[in-house]
Amino acid sequence: MKRLWASAFLLLGSVCVAQAQVSAPALQANTGNAAPEFAATSAAKATLLDSLAVADSLAQPGARAAHAFAAPTLTTALPAEPAAADPATPSPKPKFIYGGRDDYRWQLSLAATWVRFRSSVFNASAVGLKTTVTYFTNDWFGIEGSFTGAFAPAYANGQIVKLGLYGGGPKIAWRQKRWEPWIHGIFGGAHEQPQTAAGSRNAYSIQLGGGGDYRWNPRISFRLEGDYVRTGFFHQSQNSFQLAGGIVFHF
């Protein structure tokens, strides 16, 4: 009986040894493929992802810096503001500014004039001098005073004709850089000589007209003007006219 059990154990051990010898090469072959099987595991994947993350984090600053240098932001420098200019010295005299120029309140004109006087008693073409003084209250409205003295050669009875016109009134001017057109109305009186049998030598006068000034420099202009003149000598009304041209002073 003992021999039988010993024979059985011996046979079982031989079988085990034989199986071990057969399976040993397979284990060695499997040992050579251990790396591929490990790469497929979750541990290998985790390690690989961690390595890529680290590499990417290290590469990002450089990539961002390269991108920043590849497309720099351009800025336009604004010019510096000029320093404030010193305030201009105020003018010692009051001035207006109109028509793109500095101007003054006062005008004084001196002009040669020709007056064609017409009446039922006598007619005369008198030559003389006209002067006006104008004060502007703003850039277009002025108050003007005017005086005209003219003389004509002797008429039928050998006496020299003398004619005077005087008065005051409004003046409206359109002031430009060079030209200054204007209109005015002068209301006042008139005086004539010689004495006639027809009546008094004094009468009313109305002058309505206008003209234009050409500005030569800030102080001087040249003027041309024409006026309708109505008077009331000899208990009648006369319709006359006058022309004038001269120089204007601004102050």
What is the model's pLDDT at position 63? 47
Interval 234-250: pLDDT, tens: 888 999 999 999 999 99
Query: Whole-model pTM?
Result: 0.59
Same-domain pairing of 142 and 26: no
Number of domains in the chain: 2
Task: Quickly state the pLDDT bin for 41 (edges 50, 70, 90).
Answer: low
Task: Quickly state the pLDDT bin for 104 (edges 50, 70, 90).
Answer: confident
Same-domain pairing of 242 and 119: yes
Q: How far is CA 11 from CA 7, 19, 96, in A?
A: 6, 12, 140
Which CATH number belongs to the domain containing residue 169 in this structure?
A: 2.40.160.20
The residue written with tokens 């002031």 in the block is 175
Q: State mean pLDDT over 138-150.
A: 94
**Residue 88 falls inside a structural domain:** no
Same-domain pairing of 170 and 218: yes
Same-domain pairing of 104 and 28: no
Same-domain pairing of 44 and 99: no
Interval 176-202: pLDDT, tens: 878 999 999 999 999 998 877 777 789
Residues whose CB falls within 8 Å of the CB of residue 107, separated by 6 or more in sequence, listed in order: 132, 133, 134, 136, 142, 248, 249, 250
- Domain holding 152, by residue range, is 95-250
Q: State mean pLDDT over 159-176.
A: 92
